[in-house]
Amino acid sequence: MNSSDLRSLAAELEDYLGDPHDPASRMPFGRILDHDEREEYPYAFVNLLQRWGVHEYNIPEAQGGKAGDVETGFNLLRLIARRDPTTATALIITSLAFLPAWIAGTEEQKQYLSDAMKQGSRYAWGLSERSHGSDVLSNELSAEKVPGGYLLTGEKWLIGNARVADGLSVFARTKESGGPAGYSIFLLEKRRTPAGAVEELPNERLHGLRALDMSGIRLDRVFVPDSARLGAEGAGLEIALQTSQVARTLIGSIALSAVDTALRITLDFTERRVIFGRTVSEIPYSRRQLAECFADLMIADAVSLGAVRSLQLAPEQASVWSSVVKYYVPTMLESTMSQLNIVLGARFYLRAEPHYGIHQKMLRDMLVANFADGNTVVNLKNLALQLEGLLAAATDPEPAARTTAEQRVRTLYGLGRELPLYRPWDQQLFSRGRDDALLAAPAALAELDRLAAEAEGAERGRLLAAAKVAGELLGRAGVLREECARLRAELGREYGQSAELFDLAKQYCLLHATAACLHTYLHSAGQLAEPLPSSALLLLQLERLRRQLHPHQAVTDSRVVDEVMAVLRRLYQENRLFSHWQFRLAERGDLGLAQT
């Protein structure tokens, strides 16, 4: 889908859902908070979105759906999540449950599930278990081979949609010894099992996403036919890991949307609240806080932009891109949300506050992005295992690999450039040292220097400063490589599990984020409408990244902050998403918040 069509589709969904502050809209904050307070699954919201057809953008075109582009589904979920992360998560879960079939299923299996989803059926992804968490190779739910099928025995727990789902894709042990080739995936249709065969576990009360069904199932020799196995016997681990790569990329939409709404709510307050004779937005400290939060959100947006599009253009690198975005985006945006809490003050703490009450729900809900489908440790470990190869390629690249990366980033970060049809089975579990964002970063720095040389006045100064900061950050690749070598020599067999190696993986994420900001600024410029792209915003983004390494670095010049605040204020006033994907949002009514 080209960028114009995507913007039109997004506008159609926004108009359908309406202004969330309007009680008469289809998904108003008031009703969303009511569901949250009563911990009641949002059937009405899920159903109305299915009537609109949002689920069809996660069903392949070959099976009668409209999915061929991950970017489309990601952004539709983002627009839903800016209203209610719970509803968005419920929809994501059904999409993830379908992925094993999309990756490895037969045409008949894919068609069956597609037809069921189009008719409104809900599904769950039965992966985790109570005693094993992220250690999937210790999972115990077994599938015993019998004539004509398998008998499933065991328990799955902390499964989203487990009680409300019509069926589940279940990760099960098919070899008693387990191991990487000892697991398979099966489709369990609850409606096709004898009454009481599938025991539904109690719903768990949650800190955030309070209205979500988060429960589990218990099975005792429940029969499923051979036709229910998705993919080859023993291929379950690879299919599950490929599914997790998509999940890790999509779940960032929850964090992005939560902060977008929280920032918008905070601006509703700071643009109108008068204290000491001026609005809160005009107070220098508050203005800096707002500008920094906006810059953080736009860093996360740039990282997500490349990661989402990489699933289609660079699926062999999915293990790196998905782990970077899954670790970095929610981790950074948690800090951003805390900063917004300070600006908004007491209002976010009042549960019954009619306008600002949604802020605290976003604060709670966004935390799911940090642990669902692979927590911080899992993602850092995945990067740590590949770190030496990634750093070797970044510091001493093969000419052919560098050339290919420089060509591909133009599309990876170039909004409006066509992507190939999504083929989830092409995703690889190891990148073999490739990360196109880092490989192409030196060329991006050279291009930024060229633009600076052609610019004049303040624009020239900001671009030169941005290039300097980016150069400092990207130059860390060589330092990290040396640190890896030193650690390996010093720690020996303990190297791969060391806390020091995980810390280096965190720093690698900063380098990737730096490259993402550069590439987005350079390659999406032609698709961005004023006030983007902004050299002041780029500079503040890079300085925010540097301060994660050097917390006591001097703060940004106030003139840069003022420029960034002007960009933020214009997007806010024109009611556009705080994103490089520049979607028009539903028209807002009179907020009635003067001097609040």
484 HSE (CA, 13 A, CB side): 23
Q: Is the pLDDT of residue 13 over 80?
A: yes
In angstroms, rounded to a whole number, what is the distance separating the alpha carbons of residues 424 and 374?
19
Burial of 468 (0-12, 13-18, 19+ CB in 10 A): middle
Q: Is the pLDDT of residue 594 over 60?
A: no
At 196, phi and psi to the nearest 5?
85, -5
Mean pLDDT of 391-401: 96
pLDDT band, very low/low/confident/very high, at 1 (cuts 50, 70, 90): confident
The dihedral through the CA atoms of 132, 137, 138, 144 has a sign that is positive
Q: Take residue 172 and report the two structure tokens written for it.
A: 């099960």
Domain annotation covers residue 235: no
Domain annotation covers residue 366: yes
Per-residue pLDDT, 131: 93
Report CA-CA distances (Å) from 573 to 169, 195, 268, 287, 517. 44, 56, 10, 16, 24
Of residues 157 and 353, the one with the higher pLDDT is 157
Q: What is the pLDDT of residues 286-313, one digit of tens each?
A: 999 999 999 999 999 999 999 999 999 9
Domain annotation covers residue 17: no
Write down the H helix ranges in 105-175. Answer: 107-118
Tell me, rounded to whole angstroms, the distance of Cα 413 from its chain centroid: 16
Q: For 546-551, which contacts have Cβ atoms below 8 Å and span 24 or more sequence positions? A: 546/469, 546/472, 546/473, 548/332, 548/510, 549/473, 549/476, 549/507, 549/510
Domain annotation covers residue 343: yes
Q: Take residue 224 and report the two structure tokens written for it.
A: 């499923």
Tell me, rounded to whole angstroms, the distance of Cα 266 from its chain centroid: 23
Mean pLDDT of 2-17: 93
Listing DSSP states for 455-503 in one string gives --HHHHHHHHHHHHHHHHHHTHHHHHHHHHHHHHHHHGGGGGG-HHHHH
Per-residue pLDDT, 339: 96
Tell me, rounded to whole angstroms, the distance of Cα 396 from its chain centroid: 30
Per-residue pLDDT, 375: 85
Domain annotation covers residue 373: yes
The Cβ of residue 170 has, within 10 Å, a number of other Cβ atoms equal to 29
Domain annotation covers residue 240: no
Residues paired with 497 in a beta bridge: none
The dihedral through the CA atoms of 47, 50, 54, 55 has a sign that is positive
pLDDT band, very low/low/confident/very high, at 182 (cuts 50, 70, 90): very high
Per-residue pLDDT, 292: 97
- The alpha carbon torsion through 156, 161, 162, 165 (nearest 10 deg) reads -140
User: Could you tell me if 343 and 289 are in contact, meaning their C-beta atoms sit under 8 angstroms apart?
Assistant: yes
Domain annotation covers residue 100: no
Range of the domain at 467: 251-573
Mean pLDDT of 451-465: 96
What region does 277 belong to: left with phi over 0, alpha with psi -120 to 50, or beta? left
- What angle is formed at CA 556 by the lines to CA 503 and CA 263, rounded to 5 degrees? 80
Per-residue pLDDT, 596: 55
In angstroms, rounded to a whole number, what is the distance separating the alpha carbons of residues 199 and 193?
11
In angstroms, rounded to a whole number, what is the distance separating the alpha carbons of residues 268 and 10?
23
Q: What is the pLDDT of residues 499-538, one digit of tens each?
A: 999 999 999 999 999 999 999 999 999 999 999 999 999 9
In this structure, what CATH number is given to the domain that contains residue 519? 1.20.140.10
Per-residue pLDDT, 370: 87
Alpha-carbon radius of gyration of the chain: 24
Q: What is the pLDDT of residues 130-150, one digit of tens each?
A: 999 889 999 999 999 999 999
Per-residue pLDDT, 123: 96
User: Could you tell me if 191 and 166 are in contact, meaning their C-beta atoms sit under 8 angstroms apart?
Assistant: yes
Cis status of the peptide bond prior to 533, with omega within 30 of 0: yes
Q: Is the pLDDT of residue 591 over 80?
A: no
Q: Take residue 514 and report the two structure tokens written for it.
A: 């730096």
Mean pLDDT of 215-236: 97
Closest CA to 437 of 397, 382, 483, 384: 397
Per-residue pLDDT, 351: 83
What domain count does the chain have? 1
Q: Is the pLDDT of residue 593 over 70?
A: no
Per-residue pLDDT, 195: 87
Domain annotation covers residue 317: yes
Q: Is the pLDDT of residue 227 over 80?
A: yes
Mean pLDDT of 474-480: 96
Q: Is the pLDDT of residue 109 over 60?
A: yes
Q: Is the pLDDT of residue 373 over 80?
A: no
The Cβ of residue 5 has, within 10 Å, a number of other Cβ atoms equal to 11
pLDDT band, very low/low/confident/very high, at 587 (cuts 50, 70, 90): very high
What pTM, to 2 d.p., does this model score? 0.96
Q: Take residue 221 and report the two structure tokens written for it.
A: 């020799």
